Each structure stands twice: as C-alpha cells, then as structure tokens.
C-alpha cells in the first residue's frame, strides 16, 4: 500500500513540474553516497546514447539501497510525441539496454540481486511536447516502470482541471512480450510485402500534346 501511495505522490508532484526529492526513505531504503564513479560513468554513457538515439534527456538518477536489494532510479524527459505501442517499445528498449550494460559491467558486483533485473529499476519518462499539452491530450504524456509494473498515462494526467485521466498498466514482462511480438509481426509483414523498387521513370513528367 505504501509503495502505491509513493507512486501517487510522485505522479502528482511531477504533474506540477516539481521533481521528486531523492532524500526519502521508503521500506528502509536509503540513498547510496559511497564511491559511485563507476555507476555514474555507466549512466552518463548510456544517457548520452539515449539522448541521440531515443531523444531522451537525463533529468536525475540515483541508486537506493535496501535490505538485500538495490534500486536504480532514473528520470528522463523528451519532446517526442508517441502513442501507446511506441511508448511501450521505448520503455522496453531503455530497460533492456540498461540491464545489459549493468549486468555486463563491474558495477553488477556492487548491486543486488545478481543478475540485476527490471524489478529493481525505477524508470520515469516525462513527455513535455506542447502538442500533447495543447492539441491532442491522448498521446502518451508519462511512462513509468516501478515495482516490475509498467505504467502509461496520456497527457490528460497533466490537465489539473480533469477529474480523471487515461491510463494503462501491465507487468513489465508483459510489456516486453508485447514489444517483441509487435516487432516480429512487423518484420514478417515486411518480408511478405517487400517494397517495390521505384520505376526509373518515376521522376519523369509527361505533358499532353
């Protein structure tokens, strides 16, 4: 119950353009202030890759330590305009890319569990496009991964005068499966319907006599 309460608090604070304060302790979790140079280097390297390949801007990140487990918390923002399936693909790409980097680096030895899993990641992506805010509020405005669950909210989340917002939530393993199924289906379609080569006369213009 406390975890869900924290989620609600974070969502409302971010809706008001206030970043969540990292100085909290939930379920006996505390921030790690030891030497985290290796982790910082890994996060910055990955965040730079995401900046150019996924248009994500790193806003905040930290590592939280609990009893027999660690949590990596990262917040991003973006100006991209995405629908649900596209947002799901983005979340899965970010999560799987991060897990691959963590589990194949020396930082994995200082984190629990080993190997590190999506259940111990907290990923937040804030979509800030004015198009979603002022033109079409049904695009995705907020994505979160927390406690092994994926959350997708439309821009209606950011409309303070509304009594409800449009959302979808699902276990992350299901998000990953959906993303993989979608990509496989698209690849099969492309193989079954190869694009025809344009005619060499495509650029030619014919004028009636």
pTM of the predicted protein model: 0.75
Return all residues near 96 (Cβ < 8 A) that are at least 6 apart: 176
* DSSP helix/strand/coil, 89: helix
H-run or E-run covering 90: helix 84-103
Question: Looking at residue 18, what is its pLDDT?
Answer: 32
Residue 28's pLDDT is 53
pLDDT at 20: 38
Q: Is residue 128 reached through a cis peptide bond, with omega within 30 degrees of 0 on the bond before it?
A: no
Please report the pLDDT score of residue 68 as a whole number.
Answer: 79
* Contact criterion met (CB below 8 Å) for 154 and 70: no
Question: What are the C-alpha distances in Å from 35 to residues 7, 107, 112?
Answer: 28, 11, 17
Integer Cα distance of 146 and 64 in angstroms: 13
With a cut of 70, list the residues of the chain below it in pLDDT.
Answer: 1-35, 161-164, 198-209
**The pLDDT value given to residue 114:** 87
Return the pLDDT at 135.
87
| Predicted local distance difference test score (pLDDT) of residue 196 | 76
pLDDT at 172: 97
Describe the chain by its helix, strand, coil percentages, rounded to 5: 45, 20, 35
Q: Which of 78, 91, 118 is nearest to 178 (CA)?
A: 91
């Amino acid at each position: 119950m406390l975890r869900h309460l924290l989620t609600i608090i974070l969502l409302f604070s971010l809706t008001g353009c206030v970043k969540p304060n990292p100085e909290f302790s939930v379920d006996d979790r505390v921030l790690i202030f030891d030497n985290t140079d290796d982790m910082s280097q890994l996060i910055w390297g990955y965040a730079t890759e995401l900046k150019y390949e996924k248009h994500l801007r790193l806003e905040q990140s930290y590592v939280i330590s609990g009893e027999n487990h660690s949590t990596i918390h990262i917040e991003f923002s973006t100006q991209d305009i995405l629908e649900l399936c596209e947002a799901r693909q983005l979340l899965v790409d970010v999560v799987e890319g991060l897990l691959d980097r963590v589990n194949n680096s020396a930082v994995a030895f200082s984190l629990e569990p080993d190997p590190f899993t999506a259940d111990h990641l907290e990923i937040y992506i804030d979509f800030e496009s004015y198009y979603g805010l002022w033109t079409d509020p049904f695009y995705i405005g907020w994505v979160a991964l927390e406690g092994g669950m994926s959350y997708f909210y439309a821009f209606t989340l950011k409309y303070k005068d509304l009594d409800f917002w449009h959302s979808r939530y699902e276990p992350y393993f299901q998000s990953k499966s959906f993303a993989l199924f979608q990509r496989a289906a698209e690849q099969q379609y492309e193989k079954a319907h190869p694009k025809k080569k344009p005619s060499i006369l495509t650029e030619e213009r014919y004028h009636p006599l």
